[in-house]
Amino acid sequence: MRKRLKLRRRFCGKRRTLMRPKGHKVPCQKASSREISAEADPDECGDPSDKRRIKAEAYRYQRGAVALIAVWGRSPCFCSPTGNCSFWLYRSEPGHFFRLLQTYMVREFGFLRSKTHGLPDLVPSSHDSAQTFPGALWKFDGSEYIAECGWQILTTYEDVPVDVIAKPIDSRVEKNTCQQKLLPQRELLRRK
């Protein structure tokens, strides 16, 4: 009981932020695993039937009757050296999975409180370099998720010798084509 109450408090605390969690980590479903393994590039990962090379993480996000399964590639078959990976989003209904989105170059993702056509808006972001992190707002159009707008977080680091880890000095949003504030406050660094 004590553990359940602690989890509830933590979840309620997160509800106040703009970004919602990814959902709960779940095993990859057999249907989505087959579809994903068929898309593995043999030039990038060797034999795509090798389960160790076709590693993916799945998250179940549920609000009311809506259940979404986000599948995020986590192996060289689906990821670039910078950690950006292939990403799929499915709507889960009893006995069926309907693909709503397939995209590449996703480093992180989360759902917003806002909904379009009954499904939560999605914010995937990627990692271009040590300084730039592009993000985008994806909305459901009734049949699939479509990118509506985007932005880029630019981070400045202090100058340090080569063998020392640099500390971030400042972060700011640039090239924002969205009309609403989408980034959680923790994404931006505060000036000291």
Pick from 74, 93, 177, 168: nearest CA to 134: 177
Domain ranges of the chain: 17-184
* 123 class by beta-carbon count within 10 Å (0-12 exposed, 13-18 middle, 19+ buried): buried
Neighbours of 160 (CB within 10 A): 10
Listed in order, strand segments (DSSP E) in the chain are 19-20, 24-26, 56-63, 66-73, 85-93, 96-106, 108-116, 119-125, 132-140, 145-157, 168-174
Confidence of residue 3 (pLDDT cuts 50, 70, 90): very low
Given a cut of 90, whether residue 22 has pLDDT beyond it is no
Neighbours of 60 (CB within 10 A): 17
Q: What does the pLDDT look like over 134-159, one tens digit per residue?
A: 999 999 999 999 999 999 888 888 88
Q: What does the pLDDT look like over 163-185, one tens digit per residue?
A: 888 788 888 888 889 876 555 44
* 145 class by beta-carbon count within 10 Å (0-12 exposed, 13-18 middle, 19+ buried): buried
Buried b (16+ CB within 10 A) or exposed e, 26-53: eebbeebbebbbeebeeeebeebeeeeb
Q: What does the pLDDT look like over 103-138, one tens digit per residue?
A: 988 988 999 888 999 999 999 998 888 788 899 999
Backbone torsion region of residue 20, taken as left when φ is above 0, otherwise alpha when ψ lies between -120 and 50, otherwise beta: beta
The span from the CA of 75 to the CA of 25, in Å, is 17
The alpha-helical segments, DSSP class H, found in the chain are: 2-15, 30-38, 42-45
Which residue is it, tokens 């504030």?
A: 181
Cα–Cα distances (Å) from 160 to 129, 157, 165, in that order, read: 18, 9, 7
Q: What is the mean pLDDT of the chain?
A: 76
pLDDT value at residue 52: 58
Which residue is it, tokens 């707002």?
A: 137
